[in-house]
Structure 1
Amino acid sequence: MEMRRVWAPVGLSVLLTLGALAGCERSQEPSEKHDNVHKALRADKEAAASSKAAASGKDESFVQPPEIELPYHKEKLKNGLTVIVHEDPKAPVVAINIWYKVGSKDETRGKTGFAHLFEHLMFNGSENFPGEYFEPFQRSGATDMNGTTNNDRTNYFETVPVGALDMALWMESDRMGHFKGAISQEKLDEQRGVVKNEKRQGENRPYGRAFDVLATNTFPSDHPYSWTTIGSMEDLDQASLEDVKQWFSDYYQPANAILVIAGDITVKDAMKKAREYFGDIPSTSVPPELKNWELPSQVNKRLEMTDQVPQTRIYYVWNVPAIGSEEENALDLMTSLLANRKNSLLYRRLVRDEQVATSVSAFYYGRQLAGQIMVMVDVKPGQSVEKVEELLDKELREFARSGVSVDELRRIKQSEFASLVKGLEKIGGFGGKTDILARSEFYYGDPAALIKGIEDYAKVSASDVQDVAQEWLKPEHFTLIISPKDKYAVSGEDVDRSKLPAVDKTVELELPEQQTFTLDNGLKVVLAERHDTPVVFMNLQYRSGASADKDKPGLAGVVASMLSEGAGNYDSLEFSARLEELGASIGAGSGLDYNSLSFSALKTQLEPSLELFRDVISSPLFQEDDLARVKSNWLDSIAQEKAQPQGLAMRELPPLLFGKDHPYGAPLTGSGTPEAIESITREDLVTFHKTWLRPDNAQLTVVGDVTREEIEKLLNDTLGEWRTPRDDLPTLDIPTVERPQKARVFLLDRPGAQQSYIMAGLVMPPWKPDGAEAFDAMASAIAGKFTSRLNMNLREDKHWSYGARAVSMDTESQRPYIVFAPVQTDQTAPAMREMLKEFREYLGKRPIKETELKDYQDDEVLKQSARFQTKVQLLSSIAWQVEKGLSPDYIAEYPQRVSALTTEQVEAAAKEYLAPDQFTWVVVGDLSKIQKGIEELGIGPVEVLPSTE
């Protein structure tokens, strides 16, 4: 789902975390308090008018937008297919993005969920390629490959090496023109099961059904947005083979689609291939597209419900104009002024000043037929919901009355423009160039609309924002309160459809030279110049992380969080405002073995941005009031983790694998324990910072539009006063642990859970260069990717899970290897049996096959084409290489090492590393339904862990 401009992604992260709920509900009429607010708002209009008049002179909120070029060629084929081409030769890859003009809005009640179900079906092969759709892509180096469905449209996209372009276009055109005959009852039943498990997985999360409730209650029952994209279980069960075949016939036609091709290809060649592969696919009568719907009136209603959530969440929803309206930009900017940033109004008042909430978010959810403004507030445990709502209403009323700060509006615009410049480095995937071009064409009928639109975005005035606030942020809105429960078929003439086109496996990479130098203070720097966009990225990593937490698990993470809470002469809010003003970003992260600081800045603002970076490194404030707030919110986030099956398992597994006193025995989430977080003092932060963040314990990696001469001088000028202390650098010793002699099973009860969350862990030896490729190939084939044996078994064959995977964490010492699978409750024990079977057979009678290894090798080698597409990707690779103490040649020679792998090497790696009969299992679910079955498996001793509440 989407809700704001592709190049302004703040709202997207908000929606992806948007939950929803199940539970008891009751409807209320609007309270008297809301009527009073309405009266007060009307009384404020006269005062607001004078505020707007004062701002009616020269518009000081204008920000000069960046000069961006996104040239394209647009052409419509004879069959109606719209083709858009953009040339970008910086990396030997091409991105494809197809948008079909069909979404859940095109369904009817009783037949909901069809658009999303059909998206899943489209990955089940076609008439001329009946196998798994992912298979040829996952041996051809494809990246950013997926499909998505929302209310308005369905899209499919992938980025492939140049040599795989014919294969990709053949596959996309085959399922556009040759798919209907491939839809079988068996495939329908399979994907119906997958979608139902996806729905269960979403609803099993805290707030997991809220969006369903919001949709149902904020639109009339006949409105196309009154049901969610995933649909209802009942409708999914009733979908017939005839229904889905008719859906394909109606909507999956060239005249109802937009094809975008971008990357290392000329317009001439791209159009030739588009005509070759898609030109002879016929279009018949396409159902008329819904483009207009009278704006629904505001729903002045409250709904209160309970669910298994850790804290109360408040949702405010207003129905507002759709995408393409004159108010769209102002509505979007208004939400950024209200929430999502430290300097935003509601965050300042509710989280920082009054400390009655742990988080506040807001976004403009723009869609084709209607838009919505949503504000969400997580109420701090122990605080009164009524008090929070009263403050929220007061601030919204004051916002509409008094207007907005011109300086703050300018900062937001500058920040958004910086994000746009950085995002345009990517050609495919979410938010890439193909996405921007397709979205622009779909919603505005012009591939350049979003790029042209930045001029209008820059011109939005404070008065414009105040106007939309007064027009739409009224007391008449829908309120949802979620509170915790008490404990709780024609072939193209020139295309051979009998076989898939061969993939050209030639990969030619032109990586920038790595330049190394040392600053005057001893800090080692690695620079890779890349001058395609005027931006510079940096990563400063220093040895520490959770390994240095000692008796205070979570300390490294809190230090990282506090580094952005003010530094030098700027307090927390001033620091955030200065970053926005410069269009820069500075972030901090914490892992098991390292902490890191990330940095990005526009070339034109590099020096002042580096001055802020220096302040964060050398003089963070660590103010007591900020620490108290961060700790309080941190504790609330731990409660959130415990309410989620995955978070709970990630907290419980590490101490079972390593021991509770081991540096790696802390929760994998990095959040630590409540007791430790409560005990952290400002002195702890200062000591950690002085002990570990020092030039002789750090390495700086730089990638971007800057020369060595430029950056070396700038870094010495800005970071030169940061010096190594006289004290010796402490060492970090990570004890070695032994695996258990046999498997162990630990259960956590979650009564009423709609799914069980299965996690199994195994301690692996430390990473080493010798044999690393064989380990990765071994891990990928059994459980590392979509087409792995484990996922194919539990998702595609059994339909018990939405997805099963395994990951190996990259640590300095022994690595945790973790297998995870959310499964439907009644198949918990059988799923565990299947997981064991797959691993045991991999070690025994069914070792890796030549074809599996060959697919892995082809995929890994060809993926190198896209691995260094953006500066951030290049920066990440170099930083990892430096962290491991490897030479630049290690990255360059990776394809050769992978290509040389043999099945014997991979089999040997499996036998060296895998030991399924020594797994430590953690299963979160409804024990009244799953415990007996698990015990009957006889895997090992079963122990029920105490409740974490």
Structure 2
Amino acid sequence: MTYRFAAASLTALAAVLASGCAPTLAGPQASAPVAVSPAQPAPAALPTLVEKVNIPYEKFELENGLTVLVHEDRKSPVVGVTTYYRVGSKSEPRGRTGFAHLFEHLMFGGSENVENFDIPLEAAGSTSTNGSTWYDRTNYVETVPTGALDLALFMESDRMGYLLGAVSQDKLDKQRGVVQNEKRQGDNDPYGLVEYKVAEGLLPVGHPYRHSTIGSMADLDAASLTDVRKWFTDNYAPNNVVLVLAGDIDAKTARPMVERWFGAIPRGPEVVRKAAEPVTLAADKRETMTDQVPVTRILRSWTGPAITHPDAVPLAAGLTVLGGLASSRLDNALVRGDELAVSVTASAQQHEQLSFLQAQMDVKPGVDPAVAEAKFNAIIDELIARGPTPDELARAATQIVSGQISALEQVGGFGGKGSTLAEGLLYTGDAGHYRAELEAVARVTPAQVQAAMQRWMGRPSYTLTIEPGERTLDGATMGGWGDEATAGAISPDPKTPIPVTRTAPPREAPAVAPVGALTFPAVETARLSNGIEVALARRSAIPKISMAISFDAGSAADGAARAGTQSLMMGLLDEGTLTLTAEQIAVAQERLGASISTGTGTDTNTVQMTALTANLVPSLALVADIVRNPAFKADDVARAKTQQLAAIAQDRANPVGLAQRAIGPILFGADHPYGGVGARGLPEVVEALDPAALKSEHARWLRPDNARITVVGDVTMPELVAALEQSFGDWRAPATARPVKNLDAGVPAARPRVVVIDRPNSPQSVLLLGRVLPVRGTTTGLEALELANEVIGDGFLSRLNMDLREEKGWTYGIRSGLNAGVGPRAFTVFTPVQSDRTADSIKAILANLSAFPASKGIDETELQRVTEGNVRGLPNRFQTNGQVLGAILGNQVLGRPADYQTKLPQIYRGLDAGRINAAAQQYLGSDNLVIVVVGDRKQIDDQIAGLRMPVEYIEAGKL
């Protein structure tokens, strides 16, 4: 799937099935039940959970065919506006692959009555203003304050009905460049060409699902203004659209607003649905390719049925059992069992007319791929032949339903309630199809799964092996129709000027109503009997809680010399306790509908859990066992080390990973706790760790007097404290003093230079510029600096993004940032750019930084966007328990008050242009920046030499 700007998006149920809340199963036989203390209540019944999933809506249709769904949700004063067009890449003709996505980009470039869609929407407080394209549809999303709904509808209607008069050759050429860099960015990743090869292996030339949504470079070059006009008039009519309004709105209020803005847009041709059936291969097929990858990857794939087919749910459940749950059969047999793989996965990617069924394995270094593949295939074939167990399906269904409950928190954006309703109606004719799917998941039987897998996965499969080596394929030539080598590419139409012509009388944008005060939940505090501080923000929108147990540690506790120690220790917490194996831990989570994860940040180690309120007590018992009683068994440690070493190898193969590993040591040096290569660490450090060292690390840092528990969700403080006392109340701190990190250690003096890391055959160069600032994360009063950073590089409308992406077309996106560590803060700028513009991009970045504010101070539009626009957008940022939890954790780490978010409107409104300009002048200039460049030296060395800056070189293998 491709987007206008970086974001995450999946079709509704496919997202649930393939995401972290998706299932994965035990070995070929059912796993033994995990004993929960008899005093603990049993997990909630699945039918009870399904009852919690509900998105009521009203539906109406305008005379021009526009279908509108309205879902009322008054928990926050925002409305998600979700617009789905019944056209995607499968509708593209030969020679014009990638055009649906290119057109999506053009839709943000302004219409006859709007010069730029993002500026007024962000000024009005919109968030998630974005779009995406996939095989079956193109969508546009924004979540706006209720008072800006009229403006959002005006915007969406103007590009639906009044776009062509504003489209020019210049806009087309610029967005073509952006999309081509988006393609280069994806192709440049390790395994970045695999999607093309799998589609070519499964589907014949001309099949609508064969060519990629991003398309081929030749076809993108061929797109013309004539194509733009035809695509618009053929597809972008109201009768091909589902519009969903979800949030602080009702149908009675919405209908006249929709009729006002959309009613005059005429009907257009109906989108023609092409035949696009699943394809059965004549025989098993296999191919091998080499790429710049660290480990061998093996994929086995089939096409499957449409999302509405009776076998769709059984197949999704079966593939979840195979490789979706933490306790999946592939995980248990290949990662934990015989240890032939470092990672495995399986999923059913379901679309309107077919699905892609796939299982994947990354072979453990040193293992014969043929041996690993034989076991991989045996596990798949065993499940196809015999089907899953009832226990496996129950666990999978519980995780799926739990995940869908979480999706109810967001009214808009990608994956929220608006897209769930829109995709149901668009793909199946039923906006409530999500409910039918979940009910089918809850009652699916092993026999149904077995029969479906035999029907579809008993057919010949396509196997692709990617081996480490030189990249011999060229992504620029891939992703297209597929017959260009024999039939030739279609030539571009002549780029003759087409006059810009208004198609209708001017329309005025409506005024935006004021917004009310931000409602951020009050944070209650308490202490357990052993002294652990507990913070709770109560929210009852969904019957779930999100919890974090944070410890003052993080990768800063390692420093540069021991980088990777904390990460390995934390990763082993759920790999086995004194009473439970890794498989039993995974199974217990799945039965409870909980999700437990561990992580290592810069300053903190965190164990996070989402759990159903009904299962809170047993879920807390499980997470307490993981935190307090890790076993660090020798076999588990050896397996985890192998996986972490493989992850380090993946980082070293990835241009972004290389840049990120390089920047910490360069900026902070070996003597500062922030001077490491990142949480995953150094191979030699990880290899040397043993169970005794990890137990010592756990005892030193994970202790109750170094812990804090933060919870957001549907529970009262008395209920929470009582449950926590059962699980953590008897945990006692050791007699030794708490460890302390020296964040006051010195850092190297800043000096400008270019640091080059050679990565051959790269179509892009990754740039990462940085400098340590003379402020700390705990320094107060830095809001002017943070807003200045928004102006220069943090956001779609930032100066850097508008210049390098929207004006020059050299990148898919660029961002600047201020790291939020407790210690010294660093200013960074990150972007992948096309290789032939490496030096030009560096010059452009430095020029933008130098100009702010010396020759170009903040203007009125920018000032309004980052002050009042941010104030208006605050309610959008705290729709979910996870968003609120993240804000509270940030406040805790940086020493902010618990009600900091409620103070932001007053703080932002008190900042004027002078203070923001002064912050930019003091902190964000172009002086003393280190510039890390990861790219192909054959293409970039001459460019770098022209910068006339000191140049250093680092070998990728030394990071």
Q: Give the TM-score normalised by structure 2.
A: 0.91
**Which residue is 2:477 aligned to?**
none
Out of 198, 202, 205, the position equivalent to 1:218 is 202
**Which residue is 2:57 aligned to?**
72
Distance 2:889 2:506 in 1: 45
Matched, 1:709 2:693: no
Map 1:406-555; keep pairs closer than 5 Å.
406-474=390-458, 476-486=460-470, 497-550=506-559, 551-555=561-565
Matched, 1:730 2:714: no
Distance 1:847 1:736 in 2: 35
CA contact (8 A) 1:309 1:640 kept: yes
Partner amino acid, structure 2, of 1:696: D
CA RMSD of aligned residues (A): 2.2
**Which residue is 1:602 aligned to?**
612
Distance verdict in 2 for CA 1:662–1:98, change over 3 Å: same
Q: Deviations over 1:537-571 (max 9, x none)?
A: 21111100111114321111112211111235211
CA contact (8 A) 1:559 1:689 kept: yes
**Which residue is 2:496 aligned to?**
none
Map 1:246-285; keep pairs closer than 5 Å.
246-285=230-269
**Which residue is 1:233 aligned to?**
217
Partner amino acid, structure 2, of 1:117: L
Residue 107 (structure 1) shift: 0.9
Out of 150, 172, 177, the position equivalent to 1:188 is 172
Residue 467 (structure 1) shift: 1.3
Partner amino acid, structure 2, of 1:760: L
CA contact (8 A) 1:62 1:461 kept: no
Matched, 1:175 2:184: no
544-553 or 121-130: bigger deviation? 544-553
Q: Deviations over 1:428-457 (max 9, x none)?
A: 112210011011111111111112331111
Out of 316, 328, 335, the position equivalent to 2:319 is 335
Residue 205 (structure 1) shift: 0.8
Residue 286 (structure 1) shift: 2.1
**Which residue is 2:877 aligned to?**
867
SS at match of 1:261: strand
Distance 2:252 2:783 in 1: 39
**Which residue is 2:628 aligned to?**
618
CA contact (8 A) 1:307 1:482 kept: yes
Distance verdict in 2 for CA 1:606–1:246, change over 3 Å: same
Matched, 1:562 2:572: yes
Deviation >6 Å, runs of 4+: 487-492
Distance verdict in 2 for CA 1:586–1:738, change over 3 Å: closer
Partner amino acid, structure 2, of 1:216: E
Residue 833 (structure 1) shift: 0.7
Distance 2:688 2:590 in 1: 33
Residue 287 (structure 1) shift: 3.5
**Which residue is 1:654 aligned to?**
664
SS at match of 2:13: coil
Matched, 1:117 2:117: no
CA contact (8 A) 1:396 1:473 kept: no
Distance verdict in 2 for CA 1:914–1:130, change over 3 Å: closer
Distance 1:315 1:250 in 2: 38
Partner amino acid, structure 2, of 1:320: G
Distance 1:421 1:89 in 2: 17
Matched, 1:83 2:68: yes
- How many equivalent residue pairs? 901
Distance 1:432 1:291 in 2: 30
Distance 1:216 1:490 in 2: 43
Distance verdict in 2 for CA 1:387–1:457, change over 3 Å: same
Q: Deviations over 1:313-333 (max 9, x none)?
A: 111111221110000001001
Matched, 1:107 2:92: yes
**Which residue is 1:636 aligned to?**
646
**Which residue is 1:948 aligned to?**
957
**Which residue is 1:150 aligned to?**
134
SS at match of 2:793: helix
Residue 144 (structure 1) shift: 2.0
Out of 284, 287, 302, the position equivalent to 1:300 is 284
426-435 or 62-71: bigger deviation? 62-71
Distance verdict in 2 for CA 1:634–1:741, change over 3 Å: closer
**Which residue is 2:834 aligned to?**
824
Distance verdict in 2 for CA 1:745–1:446, change over 3 Å: same
CA contact (8 A) 1:280 1:490 kept: no
Partner amino acid, structure 2, of 1:888: A
Distance 1:731 1:138 in 2: 43
Distance verdict in 2 for CA 1:491–1:425, change over 3 Å: farther
Map 1:10-29; keep pairs closer than 5 Å.
10-11=17-18
CA contact (8 A) 2:18 2:347 kept: yes
CA contact (8 A) 2:165 2:502 kept: no
SS at match of 1:66: helix
Distance 2:281 2:352 in 1: 17
Distance 1:556 1:880 in 2: 20
Residue 698 (structure 1) shift: 1.6
Partner amino acid, structure 2, of 1:11: A
Q: Deviations over 1:865-903 (max 9, x none)?
A: 212212221222122222233323322111110111011
Q: Deviations over 1:318-356 (max 9, x none)?
A: 122111000000100111111133311111111111222
Q: Matched residues, percent identical?
A: 40
Distance verdict in 2 for CA 1:863–1:815, change over 3 Å: same
CA contact (8 A) 2:235 2:268 kept: no
CA contact (8 A) 2:523 2:535 kept: yes
Matched, 1:839 2:823: no
Distance verdict in 2 for CA 1:502–1:266, change over 3 Å: same
Out of 907, 929, 938, the position equivalent to 2:939 is 929
Distance 1:151 1:487 in 2: 27
Distance 2:451 2:10 in 1: 21
Q: Deviations over 1:393-419 (max 9, x none)?
A: 211222223332211211111111111
CA contact (8 A) 1:555 1:672 kept: yes
Residue 10 (structure 1) shift: 4.6
Distance 2:855 2:794 in 1: 20
Distance 1:799 1:181 in 2: 22
**Which residue is 1:290 aligned to?**
274
Q: Give the TM-score normalised by structure 1.
A: 0.92
**Which residue is 1:916 aligned to?**
926
Distance verdict in 2 for CA 1:736–1:758, change over 3 Å: same
CA contact (8 A) 2:750 2:929 kept: no
SS at match of 1:360: strand
Partner amino acid, structure 2, of 1:725: P
Extract unaligned runs of 5+ from structure 2. Answer: 2-8, 23-27, 30-44, 473-500
Residue 4 (structure 1) shift: 6.1
738-747 or 115-124: bigger deviation? 738-747
Extract unaligned runs of 5+ from structure 1. Answer: 16-43, 48-60
Distance verdict in 2 for CA 1:380–1:639, change over 3 Å: same
SS at match of 1:336: helix
Out of 59, 63, 79, the position equivalent to 1:94 is 79
Residue 12 (structure 1) shift: 5.3
Distance 1:245 1:850 in 2: 35
Distance 1:213 1:665 in 2: 40
SS at match of 2:833: strand
Distance 1:468 1:285 in 2: 37
Distance verdict in 2 for CA 1:137–1:806, change over 3 Å: same
Out of 730, 752, 755, the position equivalent to 2:764 is 755
SS at match of 1:527: strand
Matched, 1:796 2:806: yes
Map 1:662-673; keep pairs closer than 5 Å.
662-668=672-678, 670-673=679-682
Distance 2:164 2:79 in 1: 28
Residue 509 (structure 1) shift: 2.8
Distance verdict in 2 for CA 1:505–1:857, change over 3 Å: farther
CA contact (8 A) 2:793 2:799 kept: yes
CA contact (8 A) 1:143 1:160 kept: yes
Partner amino acid, structure 2, of 1:649: A
CA contact (8 A) 1:63 1:410 kept: no
Partner amino acid, structure 2, of 1:6: L
Distance 1:294 1:844 in 2: 60
